Amino acid sequence: ADDVTLQLKWVTQAQFAGYYVALDKGFYEEEDLNVTIKPGGPDIAPTQVLAGGGADVTVEWMPAALAAREKGLPMVNIAQPFKSSGMMLTCRKDAGVTSTDDFAGKTLGVWFFGNEFPFLSWMSQLGIATDGSDGGVTVLKQGFNVDPILQGQAACVSTMTYNEYWQIIDAGLTPEELQVFKYEDQGVATLEDGLYVLEENLADPEFEDKMVRFVRASMKGWKYAEENPDEAAEIVLDNDASGAQTEKHQKRMMGEVAKLTAGSNGALDPADYERTVASLLSGGSDPVISKAPEGAWTHAITDKALN
């Protein structure tokens, strides 16, 4: 069997259920692949792992991938299991935020480490300064959790529909007390959780063939997970070596993730790509990328895998 190493963007959780299902159900084995899944974490830059040869393929968000490409690391999107973005800004109404007009003067929690790009381009579209100047917002680098909003240190924090949002709810705040801004709704959504490889590897037909089989099996895993969310969540739990995940949380997460993957058969929609690039290019004085990238995606793999 051929070896493939997959680097995840984050810790083992239902966000990556498709890959764990494919592994567990033997879909990879059927394609004669021997897949190793490496969990990520707050300190892991999947792009760097890819550059270092620690993985063949990685799950990454498109803004980070494009930024890396401009830094001279030629990453290529070969598949896009997530159709829509799950990112939101979640605010406390009692902190005085009910619309985007209320941001000025507030403190907002943002994830960095390459995840700040969608936020920055949104703010620049709203014309709100993020450098701490008057009339702008105070940005705080959000840690690993949602504490800042619970403790009133920030008016809003970044959340994913499938994860951090529910941590706020679990902590005791109710949906009525919260005001959420989905990036999808604000028209600034960028593509999340695509599969990326290095361009030079794609030139190798053997590698290409491996990826074709990998993507085919992975998508089979995703579709199975969408149809059997509870079983998928169980599989994720079995694979969590940290022993920190709870069943309730993972089942709920799987349900939310299924909504995001539902619209995709695995092939990247060029329109989504263009929207992402346009959003990133408009990043104000310090845009995430300075010119439209070339060759940042390919249908070569999905065309073969899905037909």
Partner 1 sequence: MGWLLFALVVWIVGWSLNVWLSRRPATALVRLLMPIVFGVTLIAIWEGVVRGLDISAVLLPAPSAIAARFAASTSILWEDFVQTVIKGALSGYLLGCGAAFLTAVFIDRFPFLRRGLLPVGNFVAALPIVGMAPILVMWFGFDWQSKAAVVVVMVFFPMLVNTVQGLQASSQMQRDLMQTYAASPMTTLIKLRLPMAMPFIFNGLKIATTLALIGAIVAEFFGSPIRGMGFRISTSVGQLALDLVWAEIVVAALVGSAAYGGVALIERVVTFWHPSQRARS
Partner 2 sequence: MRNLVPVLTVVAAIFAIWYLAAIWLNAPWAYDKATRAGVELSAVELVADTWAQDKPKLPAPHQVAVEIWDTTVEKKITSKRSLVWHSWVTLSATLLGFALGTGLGILLAVGIVYNTVMDRSVMPWVITSQTIPILALAPMIIVVLNAVGISGLLPKAMISMYLSFFPVVVGMVKGLRSPEVMQLDQMRTWNANASQTFWRLRLPASMPYLFASLKVGVAASLVGAIVGELPTGAVAGLGARLLAGSYYGQTIQIWSALIMAAALAALLVAIIGLIERIMLARMGMA
Ligand X SMILES: Cc1ncc(C[n+]2csc(CCO)c2C)c(N)n1
The residues facing 156 across adjacent strands are: 91, 108
The distance of closest approach from Cβ of residue 58 to ligand X in the complex, given in angstroms and rounded to an integer, is 12
Residue 201 interacting partner from partner 2, ligand X, partner 1, none (CB closer than 5 to 8 Å by kind): none
Residue in the structure block whose two tokens are 């799987």 = 254
Contacting residues for 253 by C-beta, under 8 A, at least 6 apart: 13, 14, 15, 162, 163, 166, 233
Task: Report residue 89 as tokens.
Answer: 């800004």
Residue 159 phi, psi (nearest 5): -145, 160
240 binds, among ligand X, partner 1, partner 2, none (CB under 5 to 8 A by kind): partner 2
Residues of this chain, 270-299, that bind partner 2 according to CB under 8 A: none
Measured from the CB atom, the residue of 202 and 232 that comes closer to ligand X is 232
Which residue do the tokens 């030079």 mark? 200
Q: 140 is in the binding site of which of ligand X, partner 1, partner 2, none (Cβ under 5 to 8 A by kind)? A: partner 1
Say how far apart CA 68 and CA 63 lie, in whole Å: 9
Least distance to partner 2, CB of residue 107, Å? 18
Please list every residue from 99 through 138 that binds partner 1, using CB under 8 A.
112-116, 130, 132, 138
Q: Would you tell me how many other CB atoms lie within 10 Å of the CB of residue 44?
A: 19
Question: How far, in Å, CA of 52 to CA of 296, rounded?
Answer: 19
- The span from the CA of 189 to the CA of 167, in Å, is 22
Window of 110-118, 125-133, 209-217, 221-229 that interacts with ligand X by CB under 6 A: 110-118
CA–CA gap between residue 5 and residue 66 (Å, rounded): 21
Per-residue contact string for residues 171-210; x = within reach of partner 2 by CB under 8 A? xx-x--x---------------------------------
Residues 43-82, interacting with partner 1 (CB under 8 A): 43, 45, 47-48, 51-52, 64, 67-68, 71-73
Retrieve residue 224's tokens: 């199975």
Binding site for partner 2 (CB under 8 A): 8, 11-12, 38-45, 48-49, 51-54, 143-147, 150-151, 167, 171-172, 174, 177, 240-245
